[in-house]
Amino acid sequence: MMAVLELHQVKKSYGSGHTKVDALKETNFLADRGELIAIIGPSGSGKSTFLTIVGGLLSPTSGDVIINRQNLTDLNEKTRSQIRLKEIGFVLQASNLVPFLTVANQLKLLDKVKKGNISKSERNQLNEDLGIADLLMKYPSDLSGGQRQRVAIAKALYSNPSIILADEPTASLDSDRAYEVMELLQKVTKQKKTTTIVVTHDIRLVDFCDKVYKMTDGVLLALEKQDEKEINHIPQ
């Protein structure tokens, strides 16, 4: 099977001279369709750096990021932005919904900038699945944290992306809501055969994932799922 996402010897350093930070050391990484991947690790270890490089928002200092056979490093910002629109769904913190748009209009906006990726019935199904069908006329300020996050996931899925990137998607939620969101991501990943990468501090969420990576000081290391002990030793 062809990997959806490949990183070859990707490195990222910030600054130069004695202030230089190697946020991401040389990293190779592969991900397939239908995989839900967790990345855990202490604060400042380079998780967000990794995720933003994968999402084409940040250019690596060296190395190649290949999404569906397109090498991001070869592309200009405009094309990269189109790839973000088509191939990548970001799930961010709840506060990142557009405050002055109703749920329905949040989705409509995506429709306007990127037309017809999924059919109307698929869309309605998606709204049902995510449990937001009844919320369509509401503004973000009238939603609960969990509801907002579900809308955020709906937005990420709306353009039928092949990759979903979530940076701390459950940060603002209590455990029950957090599990709900993870179940949802799991369901979507399996149903839509997306590649989903979730960055999290919360090791309990790891149970939902197929693969777990640990980031320490810019080094990405695959963990065996059964290696619970290792996982449990991750500093918070």
Partner 1 sequence: MFLAWQEIKKNKLRFTLITGILMLVSFLVFFLSGLATGLADLNREAVDKWEASAIILTEESDKSLYQSFMSTDQLKDVEAEKTAVLGQLNAIATNGDNKKNISLFGINKEEFLLPNVTEGKAFEKANEVVADDSLKDEGFDLGDTLSLSSSDQQLTIVGFTEQARFNAAPVLYASLETFHLVKFGEVADQKKDQINGIVVQDDSISNLTQNEELKAIEIESFIESLPGYTEQKLTLNFMIYFLFGISSIIVAFFLYVLTVQKISMFGVMKAQGISSSYLSRSVVAQTFILSFIGTVIGFALTLISGAFLPAAIPVSFDLTSMMLYGIILIIVAMVGAVFSVLTIVRIDPLKAIGG
Ligand X SMILES: Nc1ncnc2c1ncn2[C@@H]1O[C@H](COP(=O)(O)OP(=O)(O)OP(=O)(O)O)[C@@H](O)[C@H]1O
Contact residues toward ligand X (CB under 6 A) are 14-15, 21, 23, 41, 43-49
Counting contacts by CB under 5 A, is residue 52 touching Mg ion? no
Which residues, other chains included, contact 43 with Cβ-Cβ below 8 Å and sequence gap of 6+?
201
Counting contacts by CB under 5 A, is residue 48 touching Mg ion? yes
- Pairwise CA distance, residues 80 & 74, whole Å: 9
**DSSP assignment letter at 93:** -
- Select from ligand X, Mg ion, partner 1, none the partner in contact with residue 113, using the beta carbon and a kind-dependent cut-off of 5 to 8 Å: partner 1
Question: Is the CB of 48 or the CB of 186 nearer to Mg ion?
Answer: 48
Question: Is the CB of 61 or the CB of 68 nearer to ligand X?
Answer: 61
Counting contacts by CB under 8 A, is residue 104 touching partner 1? no
Counting contacts by CB under 8 A, is residue 98 touching partner 1? yes
Extract long-range pairs of 114-120: CB within 8 Å, 24+ residues apart.
114/85, 114/86, 114/159, 117/86, 117/158, 117/159, 117/160, 118/158, 118/159, 118/160
CA 162 to chain CA centroid, nearest Å: 11
Site for partner 1 in 152-171 (CB under 8 A): 155, 159, 167-168
158 torsion bin: left (phi>0), alpha (psi -120 to 50), beta (else): alpha
- Select from Mg ion, partner 1, ligand X, none the partner in contact with residue 96, using the beta carbon and a kind-dependent cut-off of 5 to 8 Å: partner 1
Counting contacts by CB under 5 A, is residue 125 touching Mg ion? no
Interface positions with partner 1 (CB under 8 A): 48, 52, 55, 57-58, 78, 81-86, 88-90, 92, 96, 98-101, 105, 108-110, 112-114, 139, 155, 159, 167-168
Interface positions with Mg ion (CB under 5 A): 48
